[in-house]
């Protein structure tokens, strides 16, 4: 790497780059490979790897470049790929991957070329929409959650207004119960209310007179 010849024996955790591209490797991706926690670059392109991309690939937190293109990987893209915050280059093109692209977190930084050549993929930056998405990429009505439905008000908004009403009612009821149980408190409470009303009336009359 960078013009240096490095020999790794018992210090595999220090391996930062692994390039096995352009060979005839086949079979599932060895799960042990995801234990190379120091990897920054992983290139396994142009081989004959099959099976699923392991979810444990998210253990490679330092990974900045991942190229698994031109293999025969199948199944869904792991959701965990989005957690690789340092990932700046991703190429999963020309495989047999299928299902919706987990287009969130770090995955939103990659365009359609990263996923091209996978007939079964849909969603994300691709022109192919997933079942349940309308032509604008939004979920169809039958896929919508309660938060998405209603006459211009979401489910959360309705609960918000209901909470305000319940809180206002509870405040009035609690105040009434306290003043009903304690006579001295009742008198003091209504004295405060009377003084407040007198003050408001005085200010209003003063404003009208000046005007």
The domain locations on the chain are 12-142, 155-210
What is the model's pLDDT at position 158? 57
Which residues are 66's β-sheet partners? 42, 90
Strands ordered across the beta sheet of 74-75: 74-75, 96-100, 120-122
Structure pTM? 0.60
Identify the CATH assignment for 12-142 out of 3.20.20.450, 3.80.10.10, 3.40.50.800, 3.40.640.10.
Answer: 3.80.10.10
Report the C-alpha dihedral over residues 62, 66, 71, 76, rounded to 10 degrees. Answer: 70
Query: How confident is the model over 148-184, as pLDDT tens digits?
Result: 344 444 444 555 556 666 666 666 666 666 556 555 6
Local confidence band at 140 (pLDDT 50, 70, 90 cut-offs): very low
What is the model's pLDDT at position 70? 96
Query: How confident is the model over 69-119, as pLDDT tens digits?
Result: 999 999 999 999 989 999 999 999 999 999 999 988 889 999 999 999 999
């Amino acid at each position: 790497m960078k013009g240096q010849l490095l020999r790794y024996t018992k210090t595999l955790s220090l391996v930062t780059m692994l390039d096995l591209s352009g060979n005839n490797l086949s079979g599932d991706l060895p799960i042990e490979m995801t234990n190379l926690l120091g990897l920054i670059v992983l290139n396994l392109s142009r081989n004959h790897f099959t099976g699923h991309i392991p979810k444990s690939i998210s253990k490679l937190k330092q990974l900045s470049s991942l190229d698994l293109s031109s293999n025969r990987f199948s199944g869904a893209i792991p959701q965990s790929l989005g957690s690789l915050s340092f990932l700046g280059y991703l190429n999963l093109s020309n495989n047999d991957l299928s299902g919706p692209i987990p287009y969130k977190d770090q995955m939103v930084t990659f365009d359609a070329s990263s996923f091209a050549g996978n007939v079964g993929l849909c969603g994300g930056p691709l022109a192919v929409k997933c079942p349940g998405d309308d032509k604008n990429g939004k979920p169809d009505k039958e896929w919508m959650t309660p938060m998405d439905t209603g006459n211009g008000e979401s489910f959360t908004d309705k609960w918000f207004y209901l909470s305000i009403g319940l809180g206002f009612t509870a405040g009035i009821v609690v105040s009434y119960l306290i003043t009903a149980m304690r006579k001295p408190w009742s008198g003091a409470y209504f004295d405060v209310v009377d003084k407040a009303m007198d003050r408001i009336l005085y200010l209003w009359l003063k404003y009208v007179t000046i005007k």
